[in-house]
Amino acid sequence: MIDMLLWFSAVSFLFYGIGCFTSPFMKEEFVRYGIPQLRKLIGVLQLLGSLGIIVGFQMEYLQTLSTLGICLLMLFGVITRIVIKDGLIKTLPALFYCLLNGYLCFKLTL
């Protein structure tokens, strides 16, 4: 089950990371968040997190670091959503991925 959740997170952040570079919607969202200058950096961090989880199937410590990094990234995403006063529905995806990756990081350290 943990492997399936790791793959789910890795694939999700692969697509989110690519979207940061290619999606006009994502570009507009980062303007709405008030952090357009961080869009590419966040995209790179998402891609690195995704690749770290995937490579981590061979080098386990990378999965732990990657899930921790994604958890923190999504925690900042939740905080950003709160600051800009997005409602619960718009905040839930970031909260879900924060909790998911926090859980995965915790399980990987046991």
Six token digits for residue 96: 């879900």
Of residues 68, 83, 71, 70, the one with CA closest to residue 44: 70
pLDDT digits (tens, 9 = 90+) for 14-32: 999 999 999 999 999 999 9
For the chain, give every domain's residue range. 2-109
Q: How many residues does the chain have?
A: 110
CA distance 58 to 41: 26
CA distance 47 to 96: 18
pLDDT digits (tens, 9 = 90+) for 34-90: 999 999 999 999 999 999 999 999 998 999 999 999 999 999 999 999 999 999 999
- The amino acid at residue 17 is G
